[in-house]
Structure 1
Amino acid sequence: MVQFITLIGMMSAVCFAHESYSLIVKYNRSTAFGNKKLYYALVIIYPLLLGIPLLYFSLKTDAIIPRQYKCDVTNPVWVRMLGYSGGNLLLSIPGGYFSARSAYALYGHLDQFRSEFSVSDASQNSTLCTSSCKEPEGISLEPIQTPNSTLSPKSPQFPQRPSTQQNLNQRRYNMTKDAAIRMSILSLSFMLAYFLASFHTIIDLLTHKPLETKISINDWVGSVTGIYTFVVLLSRDVRRAWKIFR
């Protein structure tokens, strides 16, 4: 059951990465409505394609052995490669690719925001200077001199530049930057986690060594996958909770 749920989670992550890639790289031309049925089908079909052979060979070879905290596919170790140690390792490669491409496109949007900031500031300064420095017809801007006055002439007062658009652009910039960072961390974490989960199994398979019944790195990876996904995607909520309970 744990293997099956992990396969569902990995397929969902790949679909999420592909949709993010479509939204960002293809400039907001979303394919979500067209691919929704395909994503649902993949989330169901992929775990079944690997789960059914895994269950069949596990029962046939009597590979399910009690471990320290749960029952799992242990010996022969090659049966374990039909589960998340094998299939999810391969799936993490295209999932990481789509996430990396999306993060790269987001970083490109950051440069676009910077150029928009500079152009917007320059145009606002030019507009304000033109409207404020123009001398109205029939009105002299020369200072009035009084006999007892020793004050220097005051320069024209410029109205304060509106910052609504600038704040909006800065907010969009920060959101894009946070999304790019989260996507990069999440894709690298998925690839690293499934590589570590599969590395020990692959080594045991090559050396014809049965999997140990004690706690291994596979168990740690499966335990922290949901935790780091929550921390990466909901980092703001984590920071707020930390401030509250600190």
Structure 2
Amino acid sequence: MVVVISIGMVLVEFPVLLGVIWIDDFKNKVPWGFCLFQGVAIQYGAFLQMSGGLCFAYQTYRLLVLNRQGITETLKKVYIALVILYPLIPTAILIYIAMKYDAIKPLTLNWLFGYSGSNFILSFVGVYYSGRAAVAVFRHLDRFKTSISSSRSHIQSAQTSESGQEELTISIDLEENTHSVVTSNTVQTSDLTKQIKVYNLTKAAAIRMVLFSCSFAFINFFASIQTVLIVIKGGKTIEKGLSGHDWVGALQGSIIFLIFGIPQNVRKFFLREARF
């Protein structure tokens, strides 16, 4: 689903970056066909990100809360249908309305509640609820860590049984996300390994959730600066040059990569270097 979200982000950013071709006089020189392409692509990309984010959130909930590993064929079909149909239906409605009322044209938004004033205000709501969710997740992690420690102590104290099972010795380092199992002849070891895996996944998901919400609030704040300045100046705008909106459109994809791409890539890089 991260791939779907990234594709949606590309569809949002690509038309924005193409607009740089007419940056000297966007309002008067840009062709109508490009305006139509830009409007449709940005709307479709935004809805595609929503569908991917919804599927990603639900799958994370199944993994971390319901403790269900993998994905069923039925659920996979639901995800595919949602990713395909959800962006198409509202985009088709928007295209119909835009064509009927000739709403697609070069436009300068001069109001605080246009782009990106409303986004900036609403993003704080998302940060608030993401913060509360992160606090709840980390409290859950504390209880989960205590449970894992108890399981570890129980396994380490196990002695050789009448059936001739060997004593288990397990070394766990939760902070470095590593664990090693010296000998394992019981189901308890497998359960403990699964618990550690869920703990690490939950911790990584909580950290990335907070980083993503805070980063999204920051880029919306950055985008709203020009909108607020326009309101202060009584609606006067500068038609030439790159605006804060343009920079935000170009940087959103980088934010997603920094949060979802770099941690795993850096880990793989250091593991590869350690082998040599």
Q: Does the alignment reach a TM-score above 0.5?
A: yes
Report the equivalent of 1:43.
Answer: 87
Give 1 or 2 for the bigger CA radius of gyration: 1
Aligned partner of 2:158 among 127, 145, 151: 127
Alignment of 1:91-170 (within 5 A): 103-104=134-135, 106-128=137-159, 131=160, 159=167, 161-162=169-170, 163-164=180-181, 165=189, 169-170=195-196
Give the conservation status (yes or no) of the 8 Å contact 2:127–2:217: yes
- Any stretches of 5+ residues in structure 1 without a counterpart? 65-72, 135-157
Tell me if 1:213 matches 2:248. no
% identical aligned pairs: 28
Tell me if 1:200 matches 2:247. no
Aligned partner of 1:18 among 36, 43, 54: 54
Deviation at 1:181, TM superposition (A): 1.1
TM-score (norm 2): 0.54
Aligned partner of 2:213 among 187, 199, 211: 187
CA 1:76–1:160: 2 relative to 1, 3 Å = closer
TM-score (norm 1): 0.59
Aligned partner of 1:223 among 223, 241, 250: 250
Tell me if 1:236 matches 2:263. yes
Give the conservation status (yes or no) of the 8 Å contact 1:24–1:105: no
Report the equivalent of 1:77.
Answer: 110
Residues 196-205 or 185-194, more deviating = 196-205
SS at match of 2:240: coil
Give the conservation status (yes or no) of the 8 Å contact 1:14–1:95: no
What amino acid is the match of 1:220? W
Deviations 1:31-63 (A, max 9, x none): 77546544544323445566664993453xxxx
Deviation at 1:92, TM superposition (A): 5.1
Structure-1 separation of matches of 2:81 and 2:127: 22
